[in-house]
Amino acid sequence: MTHSRKPTQILAHLFCICLFVSGCDNQPKDEKVNTERPHQKSELANDMSTLELPLRLAFMSGHVQAGLALYKLGEMEMAAPHLLHPISEMHKAERVGLQKLGLDVVSFVAVSAALEARRASFEIEPLLSQADSNLQMLADRAGGDPVKIIMFLLELIIQEYSIAITDGRIVDIGEYQDAYGFHLVAMMHAKKLPEEIRSKVTKSLSGLGSLWMDGPKPVTNPTSKDLMTASINSIMDLLDQ
């Protein structure tokens, strides 16, 4: 989930990667966000080779959803590295089995190229829609237990958010945005929960989203790690019922 390379560097490297496959981060100019801090990798994402395919897909989708949210907010440069995630060499372990399932590599290359070239929105948005639809199709094909997937995503949020926040400020904007993306994917999987818990979990997840004060965009006074963790623990309790 590294976000240290600028989009121009990533994109140049990406086309070489895509040739192999077919055979992250741009920081906002906010002095309160430390852009020099080395990226820390989440413990849950340390070994993708042992992670079940539905969980790997949820992990990948979280990055893309963060990118889509940033694009909708007009943050194209911050969106680009998140949208590159599914096809970057650094995260190739996540793709194992997904291409056979139907991962559309070309769509993500097209999205990244269009963002880098600063194409007009009427050109970019159909590409984004195609890439998003592809991940949704993959989620349907991959299946998996929605309770297990949401629990995994909630644990990821705690870890990523803990990396992102130090001394009450954002020190890793990439991880802050990834956590937000994982929340969005959890919301999607909540629709597949058993009826007896679906409504309560969906409502609680919706409330959780408000803890990112301005969505995936950086803020000077982010929600504390303790409050984020307590809110997530309450949702986990609902899922354990």
Residue 240, pLDDT > 80, answer yes
**Average pLDDT rounded to a whole number, residues 48-61:** 89
pTM attached to this predicted model: 0.80
Q: What pLDDT, in 10s, does the model give residues 140-153?
A: 999 999 999 999 99
Query: Of 78, 58, 56, 60, whose CA–CA distance to 69 is shortest?
Result: 78
- How many secondary structure helices (H) and strands (E) does the chain include? 10, 3
- Residue 41 and residue 45: Cα distance in Å, rounded? 7
Q: What pLDDT, in 10s, does the model give residues 174-220?
A: 999 999 999 999 999 999 999 999 999 999 999 999 999 999 999 99
Domain ranges of the chain: 7-22+47-142, 146-239
3-state helix vs strand vs coil in the chain, percent to 5: 70, 5, 30
Contact (CB, 8 A) for 231 and 210: no
- Residue 237 and residue 25: Cα distance in Å, rounded? 34
Four-residue CA torsion sign, 149, 154, 157, 162: negative
